[in-house]
Chains A and B, each alone.
Chain A
Amino acid sequence: MLCFQRQSNSVNEYDAIVIGAGHNGLTNAAYLARAGLKVAVLERNPYIGGATVSRELHEGWTYSNCSYVCSLLRPEIARDLELPRHGLQVVPYGGGVTFMQNGDIFGKYPEPERRYREMQRHSRRDADAWQRYAADTMKQTRLIRPFLMKRPPNPTSLRPGRLRELAEYGAAFGEMGEAGLADTMRFWTKSVADYLEEFFETDVIKAHLAGSGIIGTALGVYSPGTAYVLLHHYMGDVDGNVGSWGFARGGMGAVSGALAAALQSYGGEIISDADVGNIMVSGGKVTGVALRDGREFRSKIVVSNLDAKRTFLDLMDEGDLPQTVVQRARNFKIRGSSGKLNIALDGLPTFNGLDKKSRLMVGDFHFHDSLPRLERAYDDWKNETWSKDPYLDLLIPSLFDPTVAPPGKHMMTVFVQYAPPKINGREWTDEDKAGFEKSVLDQISNYSPDFRDLIVHCETRTPRELENEVGLTEGNIFQGELTFDQLLFNRPFPGYAQYRGPVKGMYMCGSATHPGGGVMAAPGANAAREILADLREPNVVPEGYADD
């Protein structure tokens, strides 16, 4: 019997290799596999998902260890890759509370009637100003949404096709009219505080809304550019309701799980415990990757799901790269500023001033009642320490999702702003981590007397853990700051915003590319479209839905 023995390296030969099984890497690979390519995703961790992950660290409780709420995930992709069939369900949630130092609360009800009256209780003017604010943010959102599922134009290219893309952007701005354009320019460059001051007079209302402007960002509420970050949190939708957020049933890992199942249904492979150490280049072309354990995988296409710093400075030899790329990768702004606590609770905590049966219990909780207090939380970051009075975005998903905690028990997710990548210029220590954790637990305990006693287990993640365990440089949750200098055709940097790297066959598909961070899947899908175009394969990546 003739026995044909494949050579070992031919087993490791692929049409395309994706480094990293973050949700964008999985999306990218799924589209390449669907187009008929032989694809492997190499993931350093024993589990997939990157920052879109669910893990059971304490028996009976499932955490969304990093990202915790879903809105940005492009519906075009969810539908096209049949993510619902592969197990994804996103349940919308709404509303929020800011607990105030004077014992009062501000409850942002999801229903307009109660929201209006509650705002009116704090300020009659602000209650009315909401309609103006809602219309204005919607205007800005509508400008950016059509470009989420498109590659950014290249403003330096004069080729006709490229000019057409640029003209599309121009037209979108033109549609706003002169006054609208001026507003937009101001919006994209101003601080979230300045933006909110244009509408509201009440401290707690401004502070409540300002949180979305600083999440994941090493800037304060008074820093220019934070108004855009607010928009980044408004531009998603759940079932067409722009600005809505939802919970993925089973935690955010359900997103990656469904993407992985889609990928596998197209014949793609996921190889975990595969820590890539090097993107191999020969003669100006990519030839494959080498793992740190010595294994090699060959491919003419290598796509990196990692941020721009890791991709260019860790995985590539600087000598293989143009000098500008090395320079720009070094200067890429990727400052960590956030941490996370995931808490298993023996029961539902009591919060001062809030009835346990209130509709508001299923909203997001915050504890900053003024903009100056938020700014002081940022001052700590600048002083290279964690905020002593940290801004929290706290939710109890178990009030929605019966799968994440045992019956009658609860799971709390606590996003924390700010935590610097280094403490006073040195690495985080375990004592620092304990101090960080304490500042968060104290903040919650200030408003919930029984909270501490209910804690069964707590996972605490400082930028150190986010960097080491998730692979996010400095712990920056968006793989790079979402400031105007790093958005659209400047993401990650000029000349490389269309997902192609400086070496033939090398691509980027992570949140460091347009349209940026968040569980959106758009970077992964957009990158696949470019790769298929370069391979002269028919496009299988959907266009964006039109907003009307």
Chain B
Amino acid sequence: MNPHQDEPIYLPTAFHSRQQQHNLLHAWGGWNGYLKPEAYTDIELEYFAIRSTTAVFDLSPMNKYRVTGPDAEAFLNRVLTRDVAKIKNGRVGYCIWCDDAGQVMDDGTLFHLGDNDYRLCSYTRAYEWLYWSSLGFDVAIEDETGTVAALAVQGPTSCTVLTAMGVTGLESLKPFGILEVSFQGQTLTVSRTGFTGDLGYELWIDTSAGEALWDALFAAGEPYLIKAIGTEALEIARIEAGFLQAGVDFVPAETAVRRGCTRSPFELGLGWLVDFDKPRFNGRKALLAERDAGSRYRYVMLDVDGNKPAHHSFILQHGKVVGTVTSAAWCPTAKTNLAFAQLELPADASLTGLVAEIYYERELRWNKVLAPCVAIDRAPFDPPRRRQTPAPAL
């Protein structure tokens, strides 16, 4: 047996050689054991590629589990809180899953790829959890994280770029729809999904075809000002679109150490994903009890006065701390100062008089502002093109 050689700490993804050419900042970080660009050239320009042209983000490191077999739907219905039967073949559903205590383990997307054939994408490593939940079901679970490469192609010209690359039938693809096309002899799966709240698609292909896909995409996209973007730009876009990030806006239950630091779906504003009509799913009993007894925390989206992002701020009400901010950003397109906060308030409590205690520094001078906040129901960025079918061209 050959001596054990150390691998690099972070592995390259299928697109690494191409990313290297674009990554003028050499700003690499790690994501789930893979190298990921944090930014390529300029975070602001990358952000605006999402909102005004086409942005390309490598999401290969995301955990991907293929679930197949006669009991696939029944099994997924046991794991996920929503009714999987309602996610039809060729459709994608946003979903969450809980432990038996009704605490959110993760959120992710479920792709219904074919009969008894699903792909679950998750932030946490869920293979072991899925395994234990699968006992008693006739299913096979395969970890596809290292074998399926994925690119998010997002922005107002994304449909045009992909069409120019040769993807046919894209105009009629509805949000959360899936399309399969052939790309240089490989199956290319295109879904109208994303983490930006904009018109956009995600491309899924065998890792062997990664570089060819990147090249074709950038060749087709050049006239439409396609741009590779890193996690920093994406972070602004996802806040602006009102999307939660596991590990940032909640602590995945399995990794939690301190009691009380996890959250239920209700406490994250995700009660709509819990379907009590299903007779059985992980956490159902605890969630029923919580629905009746009320939740301890409450998730709110806040429009914060002024232009100072409320990073890690305390939220006060009538001078008393009632919560903290988990994510915050100045949203460049919506021109809003947005914050996600978890408040220790009952569901029926009034949300008037909320104030964010914001600290910021300018040339070593620390300033404090008490910024009034207004709770809002919808994310400030929600363009019609996100939902339009056929998708607009520009």
Contact = CB atoms under 8 A, between A and B. Distances in A.
Contacts of B360: none
A446 to B, nearest CB: 15
A534 interface: no
Contacts of B6: 109, 114, 355, 357-360
B293 interface: no
Given A105-B4, A354-B3, A114 B131 contact: no
Most buried by A among B11, B30, B254: B254
A354 B254 CA distance: 33
A132 interface: yes
Contacts of B276: none
Interface string B1-44: 10111110111000000000000000000100100000000000
Interface in B143-172: 143
Contacts of A352: 1, 3
Interface stretch (B122-130, B180-188, B328-336, B369-377): B122-130
Contact of A353 (B3, B127, B259): B3
Nearest to A107: B4
- Size category, A interface: 35 or more
Contact of A355 (B5, B128, B256): B5
A85 interface: no
A113 B255 contact: no
A314 interface: no
Nearest to A139: B257
A128 interface: yes
A177 B127 CA distance: 28
A353 B257 CA distance: 36
Given A117-B7, A177-B259, A358-B4, A125 B131 contact: yes
Interface in A315-356: 352-355
Contacts of A103: 1
A276 B362 CA distance: 66
A139 B256 CA distance: 9
Interface string A100-132: 000111010101011011000000111111011
Contacts of B128: 124-129, 132
A177 B131 CA distance: 27
B31 to A, nearest CB: 10
A55 interface: no
Nearest to B259: A177
A117 B7 CA distance: 9
A352 B3 CA distance: 7
Contact of A113 (B10, B131, B256): B10
B254 A132 contact: yes
A103 B9 CA distance: 24
Nearest to A129: B128
Most buried by A among B3, B128, B254, B255: B128
A103 B4 CA distance: 10
Nearest to B127: A128
Contact of B259 (A107, A117, A175, A355): A175
Interface residues of B, number: 26
Given A113-B9, A358-B6, A360-B6, A135 B257 contact: yes
B254 A358 contact: no
B5 A131 contact: no
A113 B30 contact: yes
Nearest to B142: A124
Given A113-B30, A116-B33, A177-B259, A128 B129 contact: yes
A interface: dominant SS: helix
Most buried by A among B6, B11, B143, B259: B6
Contacts of B3: 352-355, 358
A528 B101 CA distance: 45
Interface string A151-182: 00000000000000000000000011101100
Given A116-B33, A176-B259, A127 B4 contact: no
Contacts of B127: 124-125, 127-128
B129 A360 contact: no
Interface string B253-279: 011111100000000000000000000
Contacts of A353: 1, 3-4
Contact of A131 (B1, B30, B255): B255
Interface in A232-258: none
Interface in A91-106: 103-105
A142 B5 CA distance: 36
Contacts of A209: none
B33 A360 contact: no
B110 to A, nearest CB: 19
A144 interface: no
A360 B259 CA distance: 35
Contacts of A456: none
A104 B1 CA distance: 7
A399 interface: no
Given A103-B1, A105-B4, A131 B125 contact: yes
Interface string A352-396: 111101111000000000000000000000000000000000000
Nearest to B256: A135
A454 interface: no
B257 A138 contact: yes
Nearest to B101: A179
A131 B10 CA distance: 19
B331 to A, nearest CB: 32
A206 to B, nearest CB: 15
Contact of A135 (B7, B9, B255): B255
A364 to B, nearest CB: 16
Contact of B254 (A105, A126, A131, A139): A131
Nearest to A134: B255
Given A131-B124, A132-B254, A111 B9 contact: yes
A245 to B, nearest CB: 20
A410 to B, nearest CB: 18
Contacts of B10: 113
Contact of A360 (B1, B4, B101, B257): B4
Contacts of B33: 113, 116-117
Interface in B44-70: none
A129 B30 CA distance: 21
A114 B9 contact: yes
A140 to B, nearest CB: 10
B257 A142 contact: yes
Contacts of A126: 128
Contacts of A111: 9
Contacts of B256: 135
Contacts of A175: 259
Interface in B108-147: 124-129, 131, 143
A360 B128 CA distance: 26
Nearest to B10: A113
Given A107-B4, A117-B11, A355-B5, 17 more contacts: A114-B6, A114-B7, A117-B7, A124-B143, A125-B128, A127-B125, A128-B127, A128-B129, A131-B124, A131-B125, A131-B255, A132-B128, A135-B257, A352-B1, A357-B6, A358-B5, A359-B6
25 contacts: A105-B4, A111-B9, A113-B9, A113-B30, A113-B33, A116-B33, A124-B127, A124-B128, A125-B127, A125-B128, A128-B125, A132-B254, A135-B254, A142-B257, A175-B259, A176-B259, A177-B259, A179-B101, A352-B1, A353-B3, A354-B3, A354-B4, A355-B6, A358-B5, A360-B4
Interface of B: 1, 3-7, 9-11, 30, 33, 101, 124-129, 131, 143, 254-259
Nearest 10 A/B pairs, CB to CB: A128-B128, A113-B33, A355-B3, A103-B1, A128-B125, A138-B257, A128-B127, A125-B128, A129-B128, A358-B6
Interface of A: 103-105, 107, 109, 111, 113-114, 116-117, 124-129, 131-132, 134-135, 138-139, 142, 175-177, 179-180, 352-355, 357-360
